[in-house]
Copies of this chain bind each other. A is one copy, B any other.
Amino acid sequence: MSLLAVGTVAFDDIETPFGRAEKVVGGAATYITLAASYFTDNLKIVSVIGDDFPEDELSYMKSRGIDLEGLQVKTGEKSFFWAGKYHDNLNERDTLDTQLNVLADFKPVLPASYKDTDFLMLGNLTPAVQKEVIGQLNKRPKFIALDTMNFWMDTAMDSLLDVLQHIDALIINDEEARQLSGEHSLVKAAEKIHALGPRHLVIKKGEHGALLFEGGKVFFAPALPLAEVYDPTGAGDTFAGGFMGYIARTGDLSFENMKRAVIYGSAMASFCVEKFSIERLKELSNKEINKRISQFVELVNFDADIEL
């Protein structure tokens, strides 16, 4: 079934303890669609770039089955740019530079062929833009997921609370869940966030895995312990892409299937961090993905002997 992803397509400068990558391809929608492309070929993107974005990167995206009709190209303008430096623990990072460029006055325009999408992934963007995309649809998708960040909670809480009432799943990290809910306990945070609208909540905890909450049920997906993490940039978006890609592939919204979607999202994220930018995501095979899923199965599998 069809999946529409909305978010940035951008350039990043990244510095980690393992090295530097300059002006490499990044952006939420890039990671989301690339990860999702391993699960479905009915993929559409709504975003904006300048005319500085490399043609061969766009060709590559098309070759992965990603429909770029909704990708606006602004002549004479520059693509969104972010520069960041990770601390030694790779869990924290400093933003060194943010140049909005084309993003400053981005108005999403959905092509007619996008307006009946079955699934919608709203990558991290101004909540008002996320809402605008929902407003342009002909019909309510089967499932809408949304990512956001602390910055919008600080600066645009009202419009964030508004868009939350129109979505099915919120995908955020633990720090964001705590800020949004005002609760330290993630169990309590989930209760409060459900009350804001989203029936499903996915809390990403980076190297500590991810939690899925729905209707009093909870599922925990581990992160794969890795010897090397080169670059965490895009891991959260890659998670969302794998998650929504798997849901779009199966069309199954049961809790059991959502659990599998969280595992697929975690598996895709575990690849993402192994190289800079989208390098690792470009070279994946289905065989590698299947193998990694079986590592996740193995990682948490135990034969319970529950009677004392």
Binding site for B on A (CB under 8 A): 38-39, 88-90, 184-188, 205, 208-209, 211, 218-222, 225-229, 256, 259-260, 263, 286, 289-290, 293-294, 296-297, 299-300, 302-308
Is A228's CB under 8 angstroms from B304's CB? Answer: no
Contact A186 B225, CB 8 Å, known A259-B302, A308-B286: yes
B residues less than 8 Å from A260 (CB atoms): 302-305
> Cβ of B304 and Cβ of A263 under 8 Å apart?
yes
- A294: chain B residues at CB < 8 Å are 304, 306
30 contacts between A and B (CB under 8 A): A38-B308, A39-B308, A88-B184, A89-B184, A185-B227, A185-B229, A187-B226, A188-B227, A208-B208, A208-B209, A209-B220, A211-B225, A219-B300, A220-B225, A221-B300, A256-B302, A256-B303, A259-B302, A260-B302, A260-B304, A263-B302, A290-B307, A290-B308, A293-B304, A293-B306, A294-B304, A294-B306, A296-B304, A297-B304, A297-B306
Bound Cα distance A260, B307 (Å): 12
**Given contacts A263-B302, A303-B260, are A218 and B225 in contact (CB under 8 A)?**
yes
Sample of 17 further A-B pairs with CB below 8 A, known A39-B308, A187-B225, A209-B209: A89-B184, A185-B228, A187-B227, A188-B227, A208-B209, A209-B222, A211-B225, A219-B299, A220-B222, A220-B299, A221-B302, A222-B222, A260-B302, A260-B305, A263-B302, A290-B308, A300-B300
Report the Cα distance A86→B175, complex, angstroms. Answer: 19
A289 to B306, CA, bound (A): 8
Residues of chain B with a CB closer than 8 A to A188's CB: 227
Tell me the nearest residue of chain B to A299, going by C-beta: B220
| Cα A186 to Cα B304 with chains together (Å) | 26
For residue A293, which residues in chain B have a CB less than 8 angstroms away from its CB?
A: 304, 306
A187 smallest CB distance to B (angstroms): 4
A229 neighbours in B (Cβ, 8 Å):
185
